[in-house]
A and B are shown apart, each in its own frame.
Chain A
Amino acid sequence: MTLSFKASMVGPSRVGKTTLLTAILAETETMLSGTEIDLVPDEETEMRIRRNRKELRRAIEAREFDSASLEGSQSMVRYNVSLRAAGDRVQGIPFSILDYPGAWLDPAERSRRPEARENWPECEAHITESLMLLVPVEAAVLMEAVTPVQRRAVADLLGFEDVEAMARKWARARNLPEHREEPAVLVIAPLKCEKYFDDNGGKGREAPRLRQLVREKYRSMLDIVLEETKNRTVRVVYAPIDTYGCVDLMEGEWTDRIDADGEASLDFKGHYRFREIPPRIKVKAAGTVMQELCRCVISGQDRVEQQQAAAAKATYNEALERKAEPKGFWGAIDYHLSGEASENKSTRLSSHKAMTTAEGRRAKLAESLRNIAMTPADPRVEEW
C-alpha cells in the first residue's frame, strides 16, 4: 500500500470545508503554472472535484447563488493527489486531504452518530498526522456580527471550542520527536471574502478589520498551538480567499435558533448577488494555499529522501569497513570463498546507487521548491 502525506481541515458543519477543498484543488493548473509541478488526482478525487465544480457552476448559471456553498458532506472522504514534476510519468509524491461532516468535530454530536464514532479515530489520526492543518472560517459570520447577541453566536457558529481542541491535538502530535523534523503549517482561511476586498473586482475596504477580527477570535487557538509546539516552529499562514470572485454579500440575515444546550441563539445566512452578468468565477488567494501545501509536501518528501540517503550511506560505510577490516588468513579465505566478498561488493554498489538516487531526487525537490518560491504569493496572504 502506498502511504501518503496528509493535510486536513477542521471546521464545524456548513463552514465551507468542501468549498475550500474544491477551490484549492480545482484550479491547480493555473495555481502551479510556471512551477514545473503537476498535481495529479486519482480518478475518484478527480470525479469528486469535477462534480463539486459542476455543482457550483450550475448554481451560477442558474443565477441562484444564494447559498454560495456546496452541499454538506455526509461521510468521510479522502481526496488523493500526487505531486509530480511536470512531464514526469512515474509515480509522484502522494498526499491526501481529509473531508468529513463538520458535526463529527463536536464530541457530543459524535457520541450519538454510530458512523462518526466508528470513523472518528481514523479521522483524528489523519488530522494529527497532517503536515498542514487548514482552518476554514466563514468570513461573513465574523464580519456581519454587530450586536452583542450576534457576536455571542459567532463562537458557536464557527465552532471555536472544537476547532481549538483539534488544533491542540494536531500541534501536540507535531511536537512529538518523530514528527518534529516534518513541516507543520497552520492555515487560517477566511472564505467568501469578496465583500471585504477591493483587489478582485470588489469595492470593499475592510481587509484590515477582517484580519484584526481573525487575529482576535483565533488568538486563543494560536496560543494553544504555540504552547503545544515548544520544541519546534509552526508556520502560521493567513489566507483570506475569494471562493468565487463573482458574488457580493448583500445582506446578512440572523435567524433565531435553539443551541445545543437548549438556549436561544442565532444562526446566520448570507444573501449574495452577482457582480456582473454573465458571472465569471475568479477565485482569489486559493492558489497560494495550494502552493503552501505543495511546499509542505515537497519539504516532507525531502526529509524522507534525506533519511533514505543517510540510511544508504550508513550501509555503504558499514560494507566498506567490513571490506577493509583485517580478517586474518582463515578469515580472508572465508571472506572470499563464502561469497561474502561479492555480496559486500554488491551491497556497496546498490547502497551507493541508492545514495546517488536519493540525492538526485533531493536536488529535483529543491528545484521544485525554488520554482514555487519564485511564483509570487498572493499579496493578501500573510505569514503570522
Chain B
Amino acid sequence: MRAYLMTRGTERRLDYAYLGESPPLRWWQSIGRWLVLEAAELVVSRLPGGATGLLLSGIPSQRRDVIGTRIRYTVVVDDVHEDPALADWLVRCGLADADRERLGQALDQGFEPEYVDALLRDSGASTGDGSAQEGLAGEVEGRLLSILRAGVTAAPATSEHKDRPGPWVGGVQDPVARQLFGARARLLLGETRPGVAFTTHAVGSVEGAQRAAQALSGAVTVLLHDSELREIQPLRAAPVVPSSAVGVSGGKASAPEIPRGERGRWRAMSAAAVMLLVLVAVGIWLLAG
C-alpha cells in the first residue's frame, strides 16, 4: 500500500503538487471528466489488473494561500485493499463532511505550514540527490500513513450493508445511497471484479451519470453531490457509441461527403451487355432474313 498527499503552499508559486512522491499511475484519469478535484470527491476503484485505489479530494485545511483562499488536501492511496479498516475510514471521510473536516485538521497538525512550504520549495530545487529525495518521500508517506491510521483507531466501526448489484446512481443527500455506496466500495476492495465508485460535482442528473456509466467499463456507481435525487436509479452499462464527426477542427473544415457516380465499375459489364444485345439483334435479323 502506498499513500500520497497533494496540497499547495502559502506562496503564490507553490501551486498544488504532491509532497514527496507522486502516484506512479493516475488511475482516476479515466473518470477525470466527472471529477471536480477542487471539491470534495471520493473515488474507489479496482482496475482490471487487480490493483485498487482510493482518492479523496477537497479535504479542507485551515491554511490559506497568500491571497487568502483556503487550501485543500487530496489523498491518494494505492492498493488500499491491503488495509480494509483504513479504506473504510477514508470512505467515511469521503461521504461525511464532519469526518473530512476532522481528517483535514489531523493533516494540518501533521503537516505544518512551514513544513509544507519547505517541502514544495525543496521539490523545486533540483538537488540531484536521489537518496535525499527518496528519504523525503518516505518521511512524507510515513507521516501521512500515521495520520490516516490514527483516524481509523479514533473512529467507531461502520455497520455492514449489503451491496446493491449492478451499476446505479444515487444522491449524496440520500442516507440509503450513502450506505450502499460504502457497501459497493467495500465490495470493490474486497473482491476481484473491476469497477469504480465515485462521487461527482460535475454531473447533477441521472442522464449525466448514465453517460458516465456508458463510457466506463466494469461496475459503475455514481453518487451525485448537487442533485435532488432521493432514490437510487439503475444505470445501463453500455458500450460507448462514437458520435458522428462534425467538420470542424480548430477552425479547419473537412469537405462534405457527397455521393458521386461510380464511373469505371460497370463500364466493362455494360459494354459487354451492349455487345451481346447487338449480336443477339444481328442474329435475330439474320435468322429472320
Q: A residues near B, CB below 8 A?
A: 1-6, 12-14, 43-44, 47-48, 50-51, 66-75, 91, 93-94, 101-103, 106, 108-109, 112-115, 118, 129-131, 156-157, 178-179, 181-183, 255, 257-260, 262, 267-270, 300-301, 303-305, 307-308, 311-312, 315, 319, 322, 330, 333-334, 337-344, 346-347, 350-351, 354, 358
Contacts and interface: CB of A to CB of B under 8 A. Distances in A.
Interface string B239-264: 00011111111111101101111110
B13 A13 contact: yes
Contact of A109 (B124, B204, B251): B124
Contacts of A307: 253, 255
Contact of A47 (B201, B242, B259): B201
Contacts of B18: 113
Interface of B: 6, 8, 11-13, 15-18, 22, 24, 26, 32-39, 57, 64-70, 72, 74, 121, 123-126, 201-205, 207-208, 211, 226, 242-253, 255-256, 258-263, 265-267, 269-271, 273-274
21 contacts: A1-B243, A2-B243, A12-B12, A14-B67, A43-B207, A72-B15, A74-B72, A93-B248, A108-B124, A115-B22, A115-B26, A182-B251, A270-B67, A307-B255, A308-B255, A308-B256, A319-B260, A333-B270, A338-B266, A340-B266, A343-B259
B192 to A, nearest CB: 28
A173 to B, nearest CB: 9
A159 B207 CA distance: 41
A181 B208 CA distance: 37
Contacts of A340: 261-263, 266
Contact of A74 (B12, B57, B242, B255): B57
Contact of B248 (A5, A114, A270, A319): A5
A60 B39 CA distance: 19
Given A113-B22, A260-B13, A131 B266 contact: no
Given A72-B38, A339-B266, A343-B260, 20 more contacts: A14-B15, A14-B66, A47-B204, A68-B67, A72-B69, A91-B246, A101-B15, A129-B251, A131-B250, A131-B251, A258-B11, A267-B11, A268-B12, A269-B66, A304-B247, A308-B247, A333-B270, A338-B270, A339-B262, A346-B261
Contact of A48 (B24, B36, B72): B36
Given A47-B226, A258-B121, A334-B267, A94 B248 contact: yes
Contacts of A267: 11-12, 66
B261 A344 contact: yes
Contacts of B205: 43
A343 B201 CA distance: 52
Given A5-B248, A48-B36, A72 B16 contact: yes
B44 to A, nearest CB: 19
Contacts of A258: 11, 121
Given A118-B26, A307-B253, A338-B266, A312 B11 contact: no
Contacts of A344: 261
B277 to A, nearest CB: 10
Contacts of A260: 13, 124
Contacts of A109: 13, 15, 124
A156 to B, nearest CB: 8
